[in-house]
Amino acid sequence: MQFLPMKLSFSDASIFLILFSVSVLDLFCRTEAVIKLPGNVTVSAVIVFGDSIVDTGNNNNLKTPAKCNFPPYGRDFEGGAATGRFSNGKVPSDILAEELGVKELSLAYLDPTLKPEDLLTGVNFASGGCGYDPLTTRLSAAALSLSDQLQLFKEYIDKLRAIVGEEGKNRIFERSFFLVVVGSNDINNNYFGSRIRRLQYDISTYTDLLVGHASTFLKVTRRVYLFEIIIK
C-alpha cells in the first residue's frame, strides 16, 4: 500500500487523522512530507488512540501478555530503556508529536509517573492488542478496547479541566491533533489468526465491518470533543 502526502486543515477547531493500515509505518518512513499545516497554525496537543503501533507503554500497567517492557525492546531508545513501546526506539506517535513541535515523546496516559503538566500537551491512550472489532481486543487478553480508551479520554478531559479551567481546556482542544491508528490486529490476529470471523465473513465483508466500526468510533469521539468545545 502506498501513502501520499496529506495536506490537512483545521476543521471544527482540531485535526482528526485516522490511519487504517497494516503498513502504517510506511507513512512515517517512506514519504517525504506526512503532514503540511498552514504556516500560521500550531498544534498544542497530540491525543492518540490505537494499538501497538502507537502504544507508548499503557500495557505495562495492564494484566495482559501483550507487553514489551523488557529487553531487547527499547535498545535504541534513550538510555536503552524498555518503556513498553513495541519497538527498539520511538514509535510513530512519538515521531508525530515531535515533528509537530508539541513534545519529544507521546506519553502513555496510564504511566504512573505522568505529571499534571504532561496532560497539557496531550496523552496517549493506545493499547497493544486493540482492534476496531471488539472480538480482537478480547482475543488479545485484556488490552484496552477503543471503548476503554474513550472512557479514559473522558477522564482525561476532567483532569485537564481541573488543571487549567474550562477556557484553558477549550484553548488546548481548539489546537489539538487527534491520531487514531488501529486495524492491523483485526486482520492479522483476528481474521487470519482465529477461525471465528472467517466462518462469518469473507475478507471483503470483514473489512467493511471494520470500516463501520472505525466510522462509529470517530463519530463518537468527535461528539465527545465537540460537546466539550461547543456546548460547555
Global pTM value: 0.84
Mean pLDDT for the stretch of residues 200-229: 86
The residues spanned by each domain of the chain are 6-231
Spatial contact of 126 and 51, defined as CB atoms under 8 Å apart: yes
For residue 21, give every residue at least 6 positions away whose Cβ sits within 8 Å of its Cβ, in sequence order, or none. 1, 3, 27, 183, 184
- In which residue are the cell numbers 465527545 written? 224
Residue 142 corresponds to which amino acid?
A: A
* Cα 111 from chain centroid (whole Å): 15
To the query of whether residue 52 is one of the catalytic residues in this protein, the response is yes
User: What distance in Å separates the CA atoms of residue 150 and residue 114, rounded to the nearest whole number?
Assistant: 19
**Tens digit of pLDDT for each residue in 76-119?**
998 899 999 999 999 999 999 998 889 999 999 999 999 999 99
Instruction: List the catalytic residue out of 44, 52, 140, 145.
Output: 52
User: What distance in Å separates the CA atoms of residue 80 and residue 66, rounded to the nearest whole number?
Assistant: 20
Q: What is the mean pLDDT of the chain?
A: 83
**Tens digit of pLDDT for each residue in 24-39?**
445 555 544 456 667 7
